[in-house]
Structure 1
Amino acid sequence: MTAPPSLDQYFTQGERIDTFSNAQYTSAPEFNDPIWLDVHGEIPSWLQGVLYRIGPGKFTLGDKDSRSMTISHAFDGLAYVHRFEFDGKNQKLRYNSRCTAKTYEKNLLDNPLGGHSSFGNVHGKGSAWEHFMDFLARSKKSIRTVEDASARSVNVTVTPNYPLPNSFDGPGPVLVAKTDTNMLQKVHHDTLEPERLFDYSFYNDKLIGQLSASHHQHDVFTGETFNFVMSLGPQPRLTVFKISKNGNTEILAEITNNLDANNTPFRPAYMHAFWLTQHYVIIPVAPNYIKNHALDLAVTGNLLAGMEWDPNAPSWLYIVSRDGGHIATVPVDPHFAFHTLHGRDYKDEDGNVVLELNNEAFADGSVLFSTSTLTDVARADQVQDRDDRRSAAAAKPVHLSGFQVPSAHDFTKSFGDLRQYKIVLDKEAPRTASKGNFTTLVKNIEFARIHPQYQFEKFDHVYFNFILPGEAGKRGDQYGIKKIVLSTQQELVWQPDTSDAYICSEPVFVPRPGATDEDDGVVISLINIYDNRGADQDRCYLLLLNAKTFTEYGRIPLGQFTATTFHGSFVDQEFVDGSFN
């Protein structure tokens, strides 16, 4: 079906999941041609390599003088990749960035009801017939029929050296972007130009589920990569797999039922991350369920409209052997964790396997329904108005695409807790007698990172973001950075001396080559300043911190704009030079 004769009705703000927020996310400028940035302070002389960051960088689409659209959910902005190449020897930093969803933008503007999908944004309004045709268009879409590499927005994680399907040609540095759908995008490691869209069925034709995890797991010792795909519909299935260092793919488990006394059917839910230990893959399935056999999701194309939180159901941990096989399904308290931090396994004195699993947990699983406000910071003079509007709206039903959704956690007050779950797999009856509990290690924590070489080992130093709520007329909302030493509970905090609102991105820890101390290295974060004087004074810069002392090495200003990013990956100079495995 061709587009309706007039599309003007679609190009409005539309419905919003967060009706009580007036956040206006701004689009970051592109720097397709690399520029050299001035260093204020210093870059550690040993820091040689590239930091990639990815996130939703474009929220205003089109041209205000013709056809335009505003994206109002933090997760649905069009994908931007940022590249920072450090040359510590010469005290230089080379920067470039690119929107990697140009054709997707064009398609949205040409036909908002053209079968597009989103996390929480509503792309257009129309008649019942037009929405039906939108549903049909969506049901017919396949990544294998997409010829343009920028025809989707893949904006959550970006991974250097991600293994490619064996059928793909050509050696060279590999950079892959991922999201929570079964979709990946190969991006040029230097220019950041999109090169190819594909999904996990390119690795194995059984990996055809609609959803996957943005955060894969990688064993730094064996070179193996792990993930899952999830099939929706009347017969849902969770398929866990691994990709070997040489590119061979092995399915470890196809899960359709829990291993409990009632053989409970697997219920699909939204998942963002999972754990890997020396011997197991552990998939946490919180009761953020995809409801009505995914019919709501299929009709609306909107993930939030298709989910529901069941407070009476547990969170299930699906434990899969790395050698293959679903070992146990262990219930724990109902909670949702966007991110996992670390996993390891060992045997207790009775010979039972113990899984030690660290995640960043929200006890209120409805946190997903407030994700539109994740990067919605209030300046000092906006705090009271924002709080008043949210309080007034909190008791009102919230609807999205005609579907009511739960009330939400308030991201402006606090993040979740760092929890350490200990799961004991009973050696005699792992399916029925295994149990788990947790200890809270740190409160108000998200986007935590540790030393990358401490995989499967005990760790002590954690770097993370926290929220300091704004005070009306005094200070804007501030999303800062902390370091905590778990053994002593010593905290180090980096906060700029300002009353402006700001957001520090996920801190990336880079160890100094040859270092023996766990915290000998640098912490890198992208800082967005939302100036109390107004949006025309907003700016961003890259921050380099001494990981031991949390004192500044230096700042590298990017410009008078803000750049929303979710996650980042650092890779050393061998990747840049091409001398890698």
Structure 2
Amino acid sequence: MSFPSLDQFFTQVDSIAEVQKNSCHRNVVEVPDPIWIDVQGKLPSWLNGVLYRIGPGKFILGDQQEGARSITITHAFDGLAYIHRFEFDAAQQKVRYNSRHTAKAYEKEVLENPFGGHGSFGTVYAIGAAWHRFMDFLARTNKKDIRYEDMDPSSSTVSVTLTPNFPLPSAWDGTSQQRILVAKTDHNILQKVHHDTLEPERLFDYSSYDPRLNGRLCASHHQHDDSTLEAFNVTMSIGPDTCLKVFKIDDATSAVTVLAEIRDNLDASNTPFKPAYIHSFWMTQHYVVVPISPIHFRNQGLDLAVSGNLMGSMEWHQDEPTLFYVVSRDPSVGHIATIPVDSHFAFHTVHGRDFIDPATGHAVLELNTQAFDGCETPFQVHNINNVTRANDIAARDQDEADRKKSQKTVHGFTTPPSRLTTFGDLRRYRVVLDKDAPQTSSTASYRVLAKNAEFARVHPSFQFKDYRYVYFNYFVAGVNGQQGERYGLKKIDLLDGQETVWQPDTHNAYMCSEPTFVPRPGATDEDDGVVLSLTSVFDNRGPEHDHCYMLVLNATDFSEFARIPLGQFTATTFHGSFVDHEFITNSYN
């Protein structure tokens, strides 16, 4: 491996800073003291429980007054963590709401020392001379031996997924009977927050369960087997000893079982595993399947160690396949196949199951995902929470035209990236594992279930089962002077392909969060329940009229049950979970 120069390290980091310097984000005001909000419409009589949502809530750090220190975060994934809590009370027809910023110590640290070795997804904090960047690298190096559990619970921003009932390390005392709520992200760091007040209580990582799980990266989206009561995830080490570890944690005991340590592709040449960005993966009844797109970390992750910036340290290889690493859930079997498929990138898997083909005896895996043909998405989502109003589309299009004139390719990415015009395909991959030669003779193919789909969810009780309905977001670009951009909601019936769309009576731009399906207790029909979505409205009259509300839809026909108005602000959330009041049943995410 050749050692690159310092200038080479920062080539793409500087490109990111230039592309995103004009990003415009707003802070969300927290509501730490719960308030009761009247419902507009009517909640179903059975809808009682708590919905948690998590995402970025602060982008402007510090005081914006002249002469005061402030920092603007430029990428949506780096916005400081913010959690919403919605407690539904159908008897009173009210919702108890509170929210909280959960990275306050981190904000203080970044403001006091932007060159303090802070990691990020796409925001460049260490903009300055080579000496400042070197000091930033040293600070990051000095942090590697600090235990998260010894840090202030709010001294990191953990803002992607939020999971009730997540198992905690067995070494912790006095937590087994608590209502547990844990936030996660793509770095190997977790944050326990209070289930009611949302106050950060503890930082930790997967090595707190087992010292073997010390990889720097992991998947924000774990998997949970609701029948065996086990949580699954991966950690990824970068550097000279690159390794992908697949593991499970027993809910009851927090005991860890490492299912595989992957260092090569099991091919004839023993091709080494190449570290790459990973956000989610599949689990079936008998397998864990980890998709690795060709969005690799340069120099085995050395660039990431130096810059601390994920986007600035990655490179995209369109001519290389995406690889499916298939691992048996039986730890005595381990890694059984690495299967190449078409080159694509996906943030989110949806559902997985496996069965034996009676005609051949081969194991068949059905794996659903939302796939993008290219890999511009991580760059495009820097502006995900700023949809364009109808009256601004002409100016936006002119900016886009000007941007394209200066586009260039850096490490396989087009920068500045073109604006997002559609989501990816909802695909179903069919993997056939040859029972005699799984590594050399297994095959994979796919078909498209829906176009323009992201953040898809299904009925939580249909784990490992064939299912019929999928709920997801879709994107509409908008029409100049008529209709703003939309992140809308759709439902697709996989039996007949029929799509049901929710469209409000408005010309404003709006953004619906990832839909959460909540089944009616005792229901027998798969779509008997509600769909919940936190909806932000970007008013054509101007930002002072922007607002957001919680939307409650009838999942059968997308008719509107209710809205819960939250106030004159907009809020971007990535993911969430619904749980009953006793934390007995919940939808994992």
TM-score by length of 1: 0.94
Shift of 1:332: 0.4
Q: Deviations over 1:35-62 (max 9, x none)?
A: 0112100111101110000000111111
Q: Deviations over 1:386-424 (max 9, x none)?
A: 122123223535699xx8953476553100000000010
**Residue 325 (structure 2) pairs with residue 322 (structure 1):** no
Residue 167 of structure 2 corresponds to 163
Q: Distance in 2 between matches of 1:498 and 1:200?
A: 46
What's the secondary structure of 1:575's corresponding residue? coil
TM-aligned CA distance change 1:395 to 1:310, over 3 Å: farther
Among residues 339, 345, 369, which one is paired with 2:348 in the alignment?
339
Contact 2:400 2:419 in 1 (8 A): no
Q: Distance in 2 between matches of 1:197 and 1:399?
A: 38
Q: Distance in 2 between matches of 1:181 and 1:101?
A: 15
Among residues 147, 156, 160, which one is paired with 1:152 in the alignment?
156
Structure 1: 5+ residue stretches without partners: 1-13
**Residue 30 (structure 2) pairs with residue 30 (structure 1):** yes
The alignment's C-alpha RMSD in Å is 1.8
Q: Distance in 2 between matches of 1:38 and 1:149?
A: 33
Contact 1:32 1:97 in 2 (8 A): yes
Q: Quick one: which amino acid aligns to residue 282 of structure 1?
A: V
Q: Quick one: which amino acid aligns to residue 156 of structure 1?
A: V
Count of residues paired in the alignment: 563
What's the secondary structure of 1:139's corresponding residue? helix
Residue 377 of structure 1 corresponds to 387
Aligned pairs (5 A) from 1:489-528: 489-528=497-536
Shift of 1:312: 1.3
Q: Distance in 2 between matches of 1:68 and 1:21?
A: 14
Q: Give the share of equivalent positions with the same residue, in percent.
A: 57
**Residue 225 (structure 2) pairs with residue 219 (structure 1):** yes
What's the secondary structure of 1:525's corresponding residue? strand
TM-aligned CA distance change 1:405 to 1:131, over 3 Å: farther
Q: Quick one: which amino acid aligns to residue 560 of structure 1?
A: Q
Aligned pairs (5 A) from 1:118-129: 118-129=120-131
What's the secondary structure of 1:132's corresponding residue? helix
Shift of 1:235: 2.5
TM-aligned CA distance change 1:144 to 1:406, over 3 Å: same
Q: Distance in 2 between matches of 1:30 and 1:410?
A: 33
Among residues 103, 106, 109, which one is paired with 1:104 in the alignment?
106
Contact 1:305 1:405 in 2 (8 A): no
**Residue 367 (structure 2) pairs with residue 357 (structure 1):** yes
Residue 40 of structure 1 corresponds to 40
Contact 1:18 1:370 in 2 (8 A): no
**Residue 558 (structure 2) pairs with residue 550 (structure 1):** yes
Q: Quick one: which amino acid aligns to residue 176 of structure 1?
A: V
TM-aligned CA distance change 1:466 to 1:409, over 3 Å: farther
Residue 313 of structure 1 corresponds to 320
**Residue 403 (structure 2) pairs with residue 393 (structure 1):** yes
Residue 11 of structure 1 corresponds to none
Q: Deviations over 1:322-351 (max 9, x none)?
A: 112001111100101110000000111200
Contact 1:54 1:565 in 2 (8 A): yes
Residue 265 of structure 2 corresponds to 258
**Residue 450 (structure 2) pairs with residue 442 (structure 1):** yes
Query: Which deviates more, 69-78 or 187-196?
Result: 69-78
Q: Quick one: which amino acid aligns to residue 469 of structure 1?
A: A
What's the secondary structure of 1:391's corresponding residue? helix
Q: Quick one: which amino acid aligns to residue 134 of structure 1?
A: D
Shift of 1:15: 7.0
**Residue 446 (structure 2) pairs with residue 423 (structure 1):** no
What's the secondary structure of 1:414's corresponding residue? coil
Query: Which deviates more, 234-243 or 385-394?
Result: 385-394
4+ residue runs over 3 A deviation: 14-18, 20-23, 397-400, 403-412
Contact 1:21 1:386 in 2 (8 A): no
Shift of 1:576: 8.7
What's the secondary structure of 1:229's corresponding residue? strand
Contact 2:31 2:98 in 1 (8 A): yes
TM-score by length of 2: 0.93
What's the secondary structure of 2:382's corresponding residue? helix
What's the secondary structure of 1:336's corresponding residue? coil
Residue 483 of structure 2 corresponds to 475
Q: Distance in 2 between matches of 1:379 and 1:487?
A: 36
